[in-house]
């Protein structure tokens, strides 16, 4: 069964304190791994897609990496506006085009 697990469930950081969020997955035939940001009361906002092990993508203070078993979302020198829930999802062969989501990591950054 395809599965996505995110850790930690919640993370509290001070402004400027860098850290990483983890997304481990077990799927048959990975077609893509996606990172989303979700603010309270809103829909998920697309951040990155990673397709193969070794691939990396960056956007401002965020950097996503991918291995054969997991992905990391590195947050460098976070600011309070980075506070949100970060969702990881995979697209696998058996599930067709649909996404399988993890439960998310809620990040709080205080000044």
Partner 1 sequence: NAGVTQTPKFQVLKTGQSMTLQCAQDMNHEYMSWYRQDPGMGLRLIHYSVGAGITDQGEVPNGYNVSRSTTEDFPLRLLSAAPSQTSVYFCASSREVNYGYTFGSGTRLTVV
Residue 100 within binding range of partner 1, rule CB under 8 A: yes
The count of chain residues that interact with partner 1, using the rule CB under 8 A, is 26
Q: What is the 3-state secondary structure (H, E, C) of 17-77?
A: CCEEEEEEEECCCEEEEEEEEECCCCCCEEEEEECCCCCEEEECCEEEEECCCEEEEEECC
How far apart (Å, rounded) are the C-alpha atoms in residues 3 and 95?
A: 11
**Residue of the chain from 78, 91, 105, 107 that contacts partner 1 (CB under 8 A):** 91
Report the nearest approach of partner 1 to the CB of residue 77 (Å). 25
Stretch that binds partner 1, among 19-27, 59-67, 69-77, 96-104 (CB under 8 A): 96-104
Contact characters 48-87, partner 1, x per CB under 8 A: xx-x-----------------------------------x
How far apart (Å, rounded) are the C-alpha atoms in residues 33 and 91?
A: 6
């Amino acid at each position: 069964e395809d599965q996505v697990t995110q850790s930690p469930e919640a993370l509290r950081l001070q402004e400027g304190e860098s850290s990483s969020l983890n997304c481990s997955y077990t799927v048959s035939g990975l077609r893509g791994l996606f990172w989303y940001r979700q603010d309270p009361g809103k829909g998920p906002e697309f951040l990155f897609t990673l397709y193969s092990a070794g691939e990396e993508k960056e956007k401002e203070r965020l950097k996503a990496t991918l291995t054969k078993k997991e992905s990391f979302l590195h947050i460098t020198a976070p600011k309070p506006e980075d506070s949100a829930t970060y969702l990881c999802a995979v697209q696998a062969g058996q599930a067709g085009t649909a996404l399988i989501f993890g439960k998310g990591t809620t990040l709080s950054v205080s000044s």
